[in-house]
Amino acid sequence: MKILNVIGSVDRRGGGTTDHVFSCSLLWARRGHECHILCLDPPNAPCVSRSPVTTFALGDQGRFYNFVRRFIPPLRYGFTPNLKKWLQAHGESYDAIILNGLWNYTSYGTWRAIRKLRVPYYVCPHGMLDPWLKKAQPFDHFLRKIFWIFFERKVLRDARAIFFACEEERRLASQEFLPNMRSGYVVAYGAQDIVGDPKRQKDAFLARFPQTQGRKMILFLSRIHPKKGLDLLIEAFSRQAHIFPDFDLLIVGPDDVGLTPRLVKLATELGVADRVHWIGMLDGDEKWGAFRIAEFFALPSHQENFGIAVAEAMALSVPVLITNKVNIWREVQSSGAGRVVTDESDGIAEGLGYMCGLSESNRQVLASNARSCFLEQFNLEKNATELLNVMITLGKKTKELLPPQTSRLESGAAGVRDR
Per run of 10 residues, the mean pLDDT along the chain (length 419 residues) is 96 86 95 96 93 93 62 71 95 96 93 92 93 82 88 93 92 82 81 94 97 96 95 98 98 95 98 97 96 98 93 97 96 97 97 98 98 96 93 75 38 32
State if pTM tops 0.75. yes
Q: Give pLDDT tens digits for 169-209.
A: 999 988 878 766 666 899 888 899 999 999 999 999 999 99
The confidence score (pLDDT) of residue 397 equals 62
Strands 184-186 and 294-299: unpaired
Same domain? 13 vs 128 = yes
Q: What CATH number does the domain containing 312 carry?
A: 3.40.50.2000
Whole-number Å distance between alpha carbons of 323 and 333? 10
Whole-number Å distance between alpha carbons of 193 and 401? 39
Same domain? 371 vs 228 = yes
What CA–CA distances, in Å, run from 293 to 22, 66, 136, 297? 26, 41, 34, 10
| CB hemisphere CA count around 401 (13 angstroms) | 9
In a domain, 302, yes or no: yes
Same domain? 370 vs 385 = no
In a domain, 416, yes or no: no
Whole-number Å distance between alpha carbons of 188 and 190? 7
In a domain, 359, yes or no: yes
Whole-number Å distance between alpha carbons of 415 and 146? 36
Same domain? 132 vs 36 = yes
Residue 102, C-beta contacts closer than 8 angstroms, at least 6 positions apart: 123, 125, 128, 129, 152, 155
| CB hemisphere CA count around 169 (13 angstroms) | 25
Whole-number Å distance between alpha carbons of 236 and 233? 5
**304 φ, ψ to 5°?**
-155, 115
Same domain? 211 vs 77 = no
Amino acid at 255: D
Domain hosting 126: range is: 2-190+380-401
The confidence score (pLDDT) of residue 413 equals 32
Q: Is 38 exposed, middle or buried (0-12, 13-18, 19+ CB in 10 A)?
A: buried
Same domain? 223 vs 364 = yes
**123 φ, ψ to 5°?**
-120, 125
Same domain? 7 vs 98 = yes
Whole-number Å distance between alpha carbons of 379 and 162? 21
| CB hemisphere CA count around 154 (13 angstroms) | 14
Neighbour count for residue 18 (Cβ, 10 Å): 25
Q: How many domains does the chain have?
A: 2
Same domain? 267 vs 307 = yes
Whole-number Å distance between alpha carbons of 191 and 23? 8
Same domain? 121 vs 239 = no
Amino acid at 121: Y
In a domain, 407, yes or no: no
The confidence score (pLDDT) of residue 417 equals 35
Local structure of 294: helix, strand or coil:
strand
Same domain? 390 vs 245 = no
Whole-number Å distance between alpha carbons of 57 and 39? 5
Same domain? 207 vs 354 = yes
Same domain? 83 vs 129 = yes
In a domain, 411, yes or no: no
Strands 184-186 and 161-164: parallel
Look up residue 348 and give its DSSP letter. H
**27 φ, ψ to 5°?**
-65, -45
Beta bridge partners of 124: 100
In a domain, 11, yes or no: yes
Amino acid at 72: I
Q: What's the N-to-C CA distance of the chain in angstroms?
A: 18
**255 φ, ψ to 5°?**
-125, 100
What CA–CA distances, in Å, run from 345 to 187, 300, 325, 338? 33, 9, 14, 18
Whole-number Å distance between alpha carbons of 84 and 155? 14
Beta bridge partners of 5: 37, 98
